[in-house]
Amino acid sequence: MSIAIMCSGGDCSGMNPAIKTFVEYAFNHNIQPYFIYDGLEGLIDGEIKEATHNDVAGINHIGGTIIRTSRSKRFYEKEFREQAYKNLEKKGIKKIIVLGGDGSFTALDIFSREFDISFVGIPSTIDNDIAGTDYCLGVDTSLNVIRHALDEIRDTSSSFKRAFVVETMGRNCGYLALISALTSGAEVCIIPELVYDLDSIKQRLEKEIKEGRSYILAIVAEGCNNTQDIADFFEDELKIESRIQVLGHIQRGGNPSVHDRLMAYEFVTYAFKELLKDELLNHVIAYKDAKFTFIDVHTLNQHKHEIKPELLDLASILSK
């Protein structure tokens, strides 16, 4: 038996520990592991190679992915999926572990229904926006990168009596911004999941400024598309000098945290065990209510990810 692993879509810290676990688990069970390089594009182009212990030696501390990743428009055309399948056939590969997000899982679902291929998806995105799972690989490292940046930004914000508006990634999901706002002690949190009230925020902050507040830290999720508006609000309404800091892609990199390394180990181990079953699979492993479970891709796609209500309640005070 041969099993392959691939990364698809955006990268995140934690992928390399997952890749290392995959190779070691395979060899411990007398299975030949394969790497699919460059994601779906590499699958089409036949960038598939046998993995060795040497390939994964000393990679746990490295961010990103040693087998690289990509996004692919070609994979949505039948002729290229056929080409991808022929490449797998040449290597005798019938089972794949996919580190990616919902778009990657949908692509592999189409692929597995057309051809004799099983896959298990491991949710791997700093956005933490995949339905059915409370946690995606890479989130903890990203939050720690943001935390470090916010701690340093607060230092300069307090020195100059400024308002800093910090934009976090997350597409249309405000999870990174919400958790970062709560854990950094931010004064304002603007995310797609919460209705915010600038008039109420103004009244609250004016009172705090009169009582001695000299600086403000506001966290804004990129999905709100209003970072500049929030900075203008501080300048125009509160008469406080403001600066914008877009954290950008530093949130995807960095030394994987202990938690992400452990989650990578557990995600891959459970995924591998599931793939060893003698049946066709198109499942995604999920971590829900502190338990690992498996979700059919169609079930996953029928639901929209929602941040836990209790977390939204905690952050609501920062949005009004």
25 CB-side CA count, 13 A: 23
* Count of CA atoms in the C-beta half-sphere (13 A) of 155: 5
The set of residues, in sequence order, having a beta carbon less than 8 Å from that of 27 and lying 6+ positions away, is: 33, 53
The pairing of beta strand 32-36 with beta strand 242-246: unpaired
DSSP element (H, E) containing 261: helix 258-275
Q: State the Cα–Cα distance between residues 202 and 198, nearest whole angstrom.
A: 6
DSSP 8-state secondary structure symbol assigned to residue 187: S
Alpha-carbon distance of 271 to 21, in angstroms, equals 11
Active site residue 127: yes
CA distance linking residue 250 with residue 78, whole number of Å: 36
Contacts of range 42-45, beta carbons closer than 8 Å, 24 or more positions apart: 42/6, 42/68, 42/70, 43/6, 43/75, 43/84, 43/87, 43/88, 44/72, 44/74, 44/75, 44/80, 44/83, 44/84, 44/87, 45/87
The amino acid at 131: A
For 3, residues 6+ apart whose C-beta sits below 8 A from its C-beta are 26, 31, 32, 33, 34, 93, 95, 96, 97, 272, 275
Using DSSP, how many helices (H) and how many strands (E) does the chain show?
Answer: 12, 11
Q: Choose the catalytic residue: 11, 38, 102, 127.
A: 127
- Active-site annotation, residues: 127
